[in-house]
């Protein structure tokens, strides 16, 4: 078996001495898509920040085999620099890595074309819709050819149609890469989790641990009309039940 | 373009009421001259007043530049270290709450009585310092925390972070600080001129003092009107700069 792209071993996060998360054991294989679901405050975003190295673990180990700069992160908001156009925003990770301006620009244009914004290279963030801004954000995360892509409820603020389009796009972009990047995706939408991921982890807010692991049926990316499939529907039901169990186990969080 | 009409109309109405009141109530000229007399004074003394206005304006501008360099520079240094900020901020606040009038005699001693203009610049700079320091410092820390995380993720150097993230994010705050500071610099220059109490500066405040001592109230009001126009012009200038930057950066 290949070495995991990223792994947490007994990782614990404490704030002011009080345990907030863990211990968590989690291994992300190269090219797999993992969804993290759980109630608000369960520590989903903390796991992503641990994996990204943006936050230290108080205890346990965090391992990553990704090369420096080859981890992409997409936040809940598009998080673009409002003073810069789409191209400059997308080129940012390359420029920070010291890639020459012309090369950075070429690759940024390519990444933007990849998310369907090849005609909006010089648009400012305020000139873009919420969905477009999120695509720019996705292009920025992909421009460094990441081995690990971390997404923190990236589509939560979008309408359901735009959200579906973006999920299809994410699958398409993931499948088109060779090798495929590993993706860890935080969501509180059960259907989104089942559709997008091969493996779904349910986080329990009360204990700060992983309460259940579900394997989504079928291959990735999903064939057209898969949302009508019975396997999909029963998987969604099962996961919804698991999530409800994890949430009722923590009455203080349910309120 | 109907926006400037209401304030102009109100100003005209107030001036007319003032004129009528002075004439019908026979108010003595040394007490309150009518606007027409002020206008005459403005025209008669145009050359002297313009030179004085230029002197005051130039001193205020020098003060603004000094304050921007010192306040902005210090904020930049302090923004790099939390303990430096903790050390500097109380001192900056102390400078802000100390009345400029109170430190003026000291500054005059230090700059030398022969260099009242330097004292005026120093005092006006002291008044204009805080909004610039505070504006730049606040702005440098106002960048989106998630963007800061993104810069962490890609291993940005402190210089890259400053140039690509913090300075652009700080720009609107800097301009707001500049707008407040430009008004304060004029006020500081005038107050400092008053306190220095010498004709060496030849600014508008000196014209005010001079005219006041001779009970030439119309001349006083003419100087005052010029000061007001100067303040408004400065405010409009920085406001226009602010708007153009905002259009370009957001």
CA atoms within 13 A on the CB side of B44: 11
Nearest Cα of chain B lies from the Cα of A4 at a distance, in angstroms, of: 20
Nearest to B250 among A54, A73, A82 (CB): A82
A34 and A112 assigned to the same domain: no
Tell me if B141 sits within 8 A of B169, measured CB to CB: no
Return the pLDDT at A207: 78
Which residue matches tokens 């100390």? B98
For residue B4, is pLDDT > 80? no
**CATH code for the domain defined by B52-249:** 1.10.3720.10
**Domain membership flag for residue A72:** no
State the residue range of the domain holding A166: 6-66+147-254
Nearest Cα of chain B lies from the Cα of A255 at a distance, in angstroms, of: 28
Nearest Cα of chain B lies from the Cα of A194 at a distance, in angstroms, of: 27
Short-list B192, B219, B191, CA closest to B207: B219
The C-alpha atoms of residue B196 and residue A62 are separated, in whole angstroms, by 67
Residue partners of A16: CB distance under 8 A and separation at least 6:
none
Out of A101, A123, A144, a domain closes at A144
**Domain membership flag for residue A76:** no
CATH of the domain at A153: 3.40.50.300
Residues of B in contact with A84 (CB under 8 A): 168
Number of C-beta neighbours around residue B103 at 10 A:
17
For residue B139, is pLDDT > 70? yes
As a whole number, the mean pLDDT across chain B is 88
Look up the ipTM and state it.
Answer: 0.86
Residues of A in contact with B149 (CB under 8 A): 49, 54, 73, 75
Tell me if B144 sits within 8 A of A79, measured CB to CB: yes
When divided into structural domains, chain A yields a total of 2
Say yes or no: B159 contacts chain A, CB-CB below 8 A: no
Number of C-beta neighbours around residue A204 at 10 A:
22
Number of C-beta neighbours around residue B144 at 10 A:
16
For residue B39, is pLDDT > 90? yes
Judging by DSSP bridges, how do beta strands A199-204 and A33-38 pair with one another? parallel
Residues of B in contact with A68 (CB under 8 A): 155
- Give the residue ranges of chain A where pLDDT is below 50: 252-255
Say yes or no: B173 contacts chain A, CB-CB below 8 A: no
Provide the chain A residues 220-239 that lie in CB contact (below 8 A) with chain B: none
Bigger pLDDT: B156 or A250?
B156
Please judge whether A92 and B154 are an interchain contact, meaning their C-beta atoms are less than 8 angstroms apart.
yes
Nearest to B149 among A54, A81, A83 (CB): A54
The C-alpha atoms of residue B230 and residue B208 are separated, in whole angstroms, by 15
The C-alpha atoms of residue B218 and residue A211 are separated, in whole angstroms, by 84
């Amino acid at each position: 078996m290949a070495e995991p792209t990223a792994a947490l071993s007994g990782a614990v996060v404490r704030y002011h001495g009080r345990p907030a998360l863990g211990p968590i054991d989690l291994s992300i294989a190269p090219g797999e898509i993992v969804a993290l679901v759980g109630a608000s405050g369960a520590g989903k975003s903390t796991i992503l920040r641990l994996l990204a190295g943006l936050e230290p673990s108080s205890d346990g180990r965090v391992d990553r085999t990704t090369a420096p700069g080859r981890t992409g992160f997409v936040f809940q908001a598009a998080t673009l620099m409002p003073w810069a156009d789409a191209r400059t925003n997308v080129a940012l990770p390359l420029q920070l890595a010291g890639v020459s301006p012309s090369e950075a620009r070429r690759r940024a244009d390519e990444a933007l074309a990849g998310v369907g914004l090849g005609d909006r290279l010089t648009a400012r963030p305020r000139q873009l819709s919420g969905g477009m801004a999120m695509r720019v954000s996705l292009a920025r995360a992909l421009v460094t050819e990441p081995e690990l892509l971390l997404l923190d409820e990236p589509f939560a603020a979008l309408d359901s149609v735009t959200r579906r389009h973006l999920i299809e796009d994410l699958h398409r972009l993931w499948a088109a890469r060779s090798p495929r990047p590993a993706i860890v995706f935080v969501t509180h939408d059960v259907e989104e989790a089942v559709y997008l991921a091969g493996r779904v982890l349910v986080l329990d807010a009360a204990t700060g641990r992983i309460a259940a692991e579900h394997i989504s049926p079928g291959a990735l990316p999903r064939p057209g009309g898969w949302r009508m499939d019975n396997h999909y529907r029963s998987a969604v039901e099962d996961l919804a039940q698991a999530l409800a169990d994890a949430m009722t186990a923590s009455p203080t969080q349910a309120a | 373009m109907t926006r400037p009409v209401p304030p102009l109309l109100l100003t005209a109405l107030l001036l007319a009421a003032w004129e009528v009141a002075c004439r019908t109530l026979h108010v003595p000229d040394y007490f309150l001259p009518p606007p027409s007399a002020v206008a005459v004074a403005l025209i008669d003394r145009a050359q002297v007043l313009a030179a004085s206005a230029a002197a005051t304006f130039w001193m205020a501008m020098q003060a603004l530049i000094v304050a921007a360099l010192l306040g902005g520079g210090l904020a930049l240094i302090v923004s790099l270290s939390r303990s430096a900020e903790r050390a500097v901020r109380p001192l900056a606040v102390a400078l802000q709450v100390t009345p400029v009038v109170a430190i003026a005699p000291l500054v005059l001693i230090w700059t030398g009585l022969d260099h009242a203009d330097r004292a005026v610049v120093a005092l006006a700079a002291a008044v204009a310092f805080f909004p610039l320091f505070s504006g730049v410092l606040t702005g440098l820390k106002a960048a989106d925390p998630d963007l800061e995380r993104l810069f962490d993720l890609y291993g940005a150097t402190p210089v890259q972070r400053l140039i690509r993230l913090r300075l652009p994010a700080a720009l609107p705050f800097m301009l707001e600080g500049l707008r407040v500071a430009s008004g304060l610099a004029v006020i500081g220059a005038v107050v400092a001129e008053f306190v220095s109490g010498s004709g060496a500066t030849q600014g508008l405040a000196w014209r005010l003092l001079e005219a006041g001592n001779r009970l030439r109230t119309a001349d006083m009001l003419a100087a005052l009107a010029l000061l007001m126009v100067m303040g408004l012009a400065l405010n409009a200038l920085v406001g226009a700069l602010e708007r153009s930057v905002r259009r370009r950066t957001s």
